Chains A and B, each alone.
Chain A
Amino acid sequence: MLPSVSRRTLLGTAAALLASTALPRLARAAEGGRLVVAADSEPRQLNPAIVASNGVFFIASKVVEPLAEASYEGDGLRPLLATAWEGSDDGRTITFTLREGVTWHDGTPFTSADVAFSAMEVWKPLQNIGRSLFADLEAVDTPDDHTAVFRFSKPTPLQLIANALPVVSSVLPKHLYEGTDIAANPANGALVGTGPFTWGEYRPGEYYLLKRNPAYWNAGEPHLEEIVFRVLPDRAAAASSLEAGEIQLAAFSAVPLADLARIAGVPGLEVVTKGYEALTYQLVVEINHRNEYLRNLKVRQAIAHAIDKRYVLDAIFLGYAEEATGPVPKNAPAFYTGDVTTYGFDVEKAKALLDEAGFPAGPDGVRFRLNLLPAPYFNETRQFGDYLRQALAAIGIDATIVANDSAGHQKAVYTDHAFDLAIAPTVFRGDPAISTTILVRSGIPAGVPFSNQGGYVSPALDALVDEALVTLDPAKRVELYDEFQRLVTADLPLINVADWSFTSVASDKVENIATNPRWAVSNWADVGLEE
């Protein structure tokens, strides 16, 4: 006779079996020192020196370190692989003093040759941001093993390079990459760096495993034994996994905003809104200035007046965002100015502007028709698309939403220019020259994502952007960028609606959360788990 097996025990056993084969390593990892984190995407290229984006940094920054990390203290930077940096008076050289006694995870010592190699062979030719930021970088001299001298062909502000360091300066080991196809190097899949954690293993669709680096240069760190990034693409799953105690941390708003109020009440979990100050996303309406209506400033002003920013913050961002006044967000106090043209919510004024522009409402109440392409990357950008369509309908503009997947959207907007209005989540990266001025500067070739592909040309604005790029005096730079914000808000090459950042939900056992303004994408050397 067979023993009777109920369906429930059978299912339970099957699930346990499945789990034990899927996660063999996790089952016998050291207790107490393992932090399990929700990861919502699996980047195709995991090398942070090539793809400087938050999705990559989230995992890779624990293994591969930059020269410096953002900090709440002092001048906003904490030295990592570089201990000091100094610019020359003519702005053509920047000298980095590098940390001594650092070794790569394979035991080879870290030297200035690695920095020179990364800068000249990776950041400048291959990296999405470095390609423009280091365009004027001529050479990197290495007078000794712990000094790297960057030589630029044009004056380059130290302030700009320093602000960009946390994002652009992930250093790769020269001895593993030299002479190979860097973008296809096997070390891109199993990263080798100098960071507090070494590469463990990656199972597509399941998890990434990182292990403690016992030889980390900062003795006493890291505190964690292991970090596991569990792949949980479904946002509802992150919340329930947190509640079930299967994961201890969900960053980058993996828990939907609508669920936060409920999650905040769950004992043992806390909602953290700090730690993203240097990762501000901007909700931007991109405008195609080739369009006969949108070319008219009055029409752009009318659209700006038609958007009820308060409503957008309350209904779409549920309060977890700030009203934007211009292209620089408020939480970049070094550059932000509130002294700009602002556009209050005023439907009547918007209609009057459209009448003045010579576009009266037809018999059906419609003045003209446009298409609208909301970026599909975030729920919030899609929802804002639905909102904007209604806001435009209220002033007599009939907008048709065109939905694309990510690749289709990028091609339509940034290569084919097949849009009238688009909604983009652009990123402010600590300095307007890194990824903000490119949104309005003319002369950017087609195909560059998150750049001015709307055909907007303003010689005055272009001259200002170019002047600021070679202005060395920090105070003068700030003045120029204040003027930049005034010009952009007055002429509206694009409309900034809201600035938002992210939230983390964590078990209250996780220590040292949000210790710097790029916390989720920093190296987590000081993160610990309470027993």
Chain B
Amino acid sequence: MIRELLRRPEALLGGLLLLLIAGAALLAPVLSPGDPLAIAGRPLVRPFTDPAFPLGTDGLGRDLLAGVIHGVRTSAAIGLAAALVAVLAGMLVGTAAGFAGGLVDEALMRVVDAFQIVPGFLLALAFVSVTGPSLAVVAIAIALGAWTGPARLSRSRVLALREADFVAAARVMGMHPAEIALRQVMPLALPPVLAVTAVIVAGAILTESALSFLGLGDPNAVTWGGMIAEGRNQLRSAAYLSIIPGIALVLTVISIYLVGEALTDVLAGKRQS
């Protein structure tokens, strides 16, 4: 599968970018030690003018490069955590609904409908404004709007699988229905869900940035959305304050999306002509 992926130029490009970004996230404490929010120098040093601050400093004299590097960690942590919660919750609900069928299915799917009609971003906004912003809350808030996709996908897959022969065999062997659902059926429903995970991660990173932009991110962590929002007031006189974290955000989301798309294609067995 990896070889298949490597044959696609867009996947290669995305993968390289993603590797770079992941490296930055992992090595952040080495690349820029100390608190990225610390006041490091004069305020508003322009990018590429001072070797000590390659990307310049913001209005309070905080190093922009440190912000961008540590911002990866926040974005990645939130993106992965939100996706994990969304996929787990979605798979459980979807499998339960598909496997149990009948009234349970109806009830669970109406709950999914209820979550699906409310725009995910609004849901996240409301949740964060009520509970107060912190990294964990933001991750859960984003997952609230993202778990319905995995739930629907896994349900449809489980519906097809539950009549399969191996399920009937397991039943005959006397396995508990819950065990069949979780151990026999759910793993087989995983691939299609995994394929959309990349999109969920990319979406979560964007949503987190949007929340931070509106001032609903964790104020004690560096976030790209927060950096963009802070630079917005000086857009006309110091546009680089918003542009630099903006570029970081765009590159991250694009690389995840490219890899995710390629992965979906490969999993679906499609070949490029």
A interface residues, Cβ below 8 angstroms from B? 235-236, 239, 256, 258-259, 261-262, 311, 314-316, 376, 379, 383, 385-387, 389-390, 393, 400-405, 408
Contacts and interface: CB of A to CB of B under 8 A. Distances in A.
Given A316-B60, A405-B129, A390 B235 contact: no
Interface stretch (B34-42, B72-80, B193-201): B34-42
B61 interface: yes
Given A258-B234, A258-B237, A261-B237, A315 B220 contact: no
A40 to B, nearest CB: 13
Given A258-B238, A401-B219, A315 B233 contact: no
Given A262-B236, A262-B237, A403-B132, 8 more contacts: A235-B233, A239-B236, A258-B233, A315-B43, A379-B233, A389-B37, A389-B220, A405-B129
Contacts of A383: 59-60
A387 B39 contact: yes
B61 A315 contact: yes
25 contacts: A256-B233, A258-B234, A258-B237, A259-B233, A259-B237, A261-B237, A314-B43, A315-B43, A315-B60, A316-B59, A316-B60, A376-B215, A383-B59, A383-B60, A389-B37, A390-B35, A390-B37, A390-B39, A393-B38, A401-B219, A402-B219, A403-B132, A403-B215, A403-B219, A404-B132
B8 interface: no
Contacts of A385: 219
In the complex, which of the residues A236, A258, A259, A311 has the most CB atoms of chain B within 10 Å of its own CB atom? Answer: A258
Contacts of B238: 258
Nearest to B35: A393
B72 to A, nearest CB: 20
B133 interface: yes
Contacts of A390: 35, 37-39
Contact of B235 (A236, A315, A408): A236
Contacts of A404: 132
B232 interface: yes
B31 to A, nearest CB: 20
Interface of chain A, main secondary structure: helix
Contacts of A261: 237
Nearest to A257: B233
Contacts of B219: 385-386, 401-403
A38 to B, nearest CB: 15
Nearest to B215: A403
A236 B239 CA distance: 12
Contacts of B60: 315-316, 383, 386-387
Nearest to B221: A401
Contacts of B232: 236
Nearest to B43: A315
Contacts, number: 59
Interface residues of B, number: 22
Contacts of A400: 220
A225 B216 CA distance: 43
A472 to B, nearest CB: 48
Contacts of B129: 405
Contacts of A259: 233-234, 236-237
Interface string B127-138: 001001100000
Nearest to A240: B236
A254 to B, nearest CB: 12
Given A387-B39, A389-B37, A393-B35, A402 B132 contact: yes
Interface in B230-246: 232-238
A258 B233 CA distance: 7
A256 B235 CA distance: 10
B133 A403 contact: yes
In the complex, which of the residues B37, B38, B215, B219 has the most CB atoms of chain A within 10 Å of its own CB atom? Answer: B219
A240 to B, nearest CB: 8
A259 B232 CA distance: 11
A386 B39 CA distance: 10
Interface in B166-220: 215-216, 219-220
Contacts of A239: 236
Interface in B108-142: 129, 132-133
A499 to B, nearest CB: 20
Contacts of A315: 43, 59-61
A256 B39 contact: no
B209 to A, nearest CB: 16
B32 to A, nearest CB: 16
B22 to A, nearest CB: 28
Given A315-B59, A400-B220, A403-B219, A386 B236 contact: no
A114 to B, nearest CB: 43
B237 to A, nearest CB: 5
Contacts of B234: 256, 258-259
A192 to B, nearest CB: 38
B215 A236 contact: no
A385 B61 CA distance: 14
Contacts of B237: 258-259, 261-262
Given A236-B235, A258-B237, A383-B60, A401 B220 contact: yes
Contacts of A387: 39, 60
Contacts of B37: 386, 389-390
Given A315-B43, A376-B215, A236 B59 contact: no
A-B interface, 3 closest residue pairs, ranked by CB to CB distance from nearest: A258-B234, A401-B219, A256-B233
Contacts of B132: 402-404, 408
Contacts of A402: 132, 219
A413 to B, nearest CB: 14
Contacts of A311: 39
A256 B61 CA distance: 18
Interface string B31-56: 00001011100010000000000000
Nearest to A374: B219
A44 to B, nearest CB: 19
Nearest to A256: B233
Given A389-B37, A405-B129, A236 B61 contact: no
A402 B218 CA distance: 8
A193 to B, nearest CB: 35
Nearest to B241: A258
B223 to A, nearest CB: 12
B154 to A, nearest CB: 36
A506 B236 CA distance: 18
Contacts of B61: 315
Contacts of B35: 390, 393
Interface in B1-46: 35, 37-39, 43
A403 B226 CA distance: 13
In the complex, which of the residues B43, B129, B233, B235 has the most CB atoms of chain A within 10 Å of its own CB atom? Answer: B233
Contacts of A389: 37, 220
B206 to A, nearest CB: 21
A256 B129 CA distance: 26
Interface string B88-103: 0000000000000000
Nearest to A258: B234
In the complex, which of the residues A261, A386, A405 has the most CB atoms of chain B within 10 Å of its own CB atom? Answer: A386
